[in-house]
């Protein structure tokens, strides 16, 4: 599985470089009319052909780096362990097992080991974030109706 093991923020120098080149890179990618592009690495004079979708991913990486956000790349079909899934969600492994057993997140069992597809984990994560946002808005509306925001 292709995944960075650490979630580290880009350095200030990396952030500045990503910001400097993001716009021109994004413009160049949008102008492509083929499924691939040939890139040349100036230091080695090596030319490589890269799929357009990989360039679009690199564009997103540059944008995130320019904003100072940490980056991680995980193939969507990748299956991860319960420990890694718990780390991604920011919860304990026992809590994650409880979510799995309640059917809130799809998983497969290989022998006695549970494996979770990354896409299923992210779907659950998005669902929880959407629910949290909805509850927060409802709470704010309730407080506003009761005059708790009036000065």
pLDDT digit string (tens) for 20-52? 999 999 999 999 999 999 999 999 999 999 999
Strands 108-110 and 113-117, how do they pair?
antiparallel
Q: Estimate to the nearest angstrom the gap between the alpha carbon of 76 and the chain centroid.
A: 10
User: Domain 12-66 adopts which CATH fold?
Assistant: CBS domain Like (3.90.1280)
pTM above 0.85, yes or no: no
What are the extents of the domains in the chain? 12-66, 79-145
| CB distance 105 to 120 below 8 Å | yes
Structure tokens at 46: 């090596």
Distance CA 30, CA 92 (A): 42
- Give the whole-angstrom CA distance, residue 146 versus residue 50: 58
**pLDDT average, residue stretch 117-123:** 93
């Amino acid at each position: 599985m292709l995944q960075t093991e650490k979630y580290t923020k880009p350095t200030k120098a990396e952030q500045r470089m990503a910001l400097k080149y993001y716009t021109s890179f994004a413009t160049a990618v949008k102008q492509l009319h083929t499924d691939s592009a040939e890139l040349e690495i100036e230091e080695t004079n090596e030319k490589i052909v890269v799929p357009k979708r990989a360039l679009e991913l690199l564009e997103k990486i540059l944008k995130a780096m320019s904003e100072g956000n940490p980056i991680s790349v995980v193939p969507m079909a990748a299956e991860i362990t319960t420990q890694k899934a718990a780390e991604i969600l920011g919860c304990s492994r026992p809590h994650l097992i409880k979510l799995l057993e309640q059917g809130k997140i799809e998983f497969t069992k290989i022998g006695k080991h549970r494996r979770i597809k990354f896409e299923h984990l992210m779907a659950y994560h998005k669902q929880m974030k959407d629910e949290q946002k909805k509850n927060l808005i409802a709470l704010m509306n309730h407080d506003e109706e009761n005059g708790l925001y009036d000065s």
